[in-house]
Amino acid sequence: MSFPTAGTAPIAELVRAYLAAEYQWQRNGDWHDLRIGLPVPALELMYPDAGTFGLLSAWNPHSVECTESVNREADRALQRDLVEAGVPFLAAFSSASNRSWREPGWLVIDLPLDRFDALSCKYGQLGTLWWTRHRPGRLRIQAVRPADCEHEHVDWLAAAALP
């Protein structure tokens, strides 16, 4: 499977790829699965005072593949922004099930949703993941929903309306 890019695939195809993707986060050398549509009890146990969790990346803005050096520089900038925000964050990644596409990211804990969305916009991310304590994970897409793309765990955010 070749991961589609925004320049070559309609939004609905990208969303289907995001929904089928695998997501993981790391703590103390162990990797843990994340699933859209399911809560995150392991994170809730590890961070009992946290109310929200989000997975964010700076790689491949607008789902257009960039060089590794460009992606790594964007990732370093995102890390600096997360340190400045003063919230805990853990290594994470997203990938196609066959690993034909993979990108690192960060699982952020208790970053307010407006700041999370602002960072997503800043780094040109079409899709991010978001959990509220005891609730199923949601895919947040910064685009207008196409008529042929509806899913109960997808939030559609008109890109122009975001900060």
* pLDDT attached to residue 9: 61
Residues 6+ away with beta carbon under 8 Å from 139: 15, 18, 19, 36, 127, 128, 129, 151, 153, 154, 155
* pLDDT attached to residue 150: 82
Instruction: Give the phi and the psi of residue 133 in degrees, each rounded to 5.
Output: -45, 130
Q: How confident is the model at residue 63 (pLDDT cuts 50, 70, 90)?
A: confident
22-61 pLDDT, tens digit each? 999 999 999 999 999 999 999 999 999 999 999 999 999 9
pLDDT over threshold 50, residue 126: yes
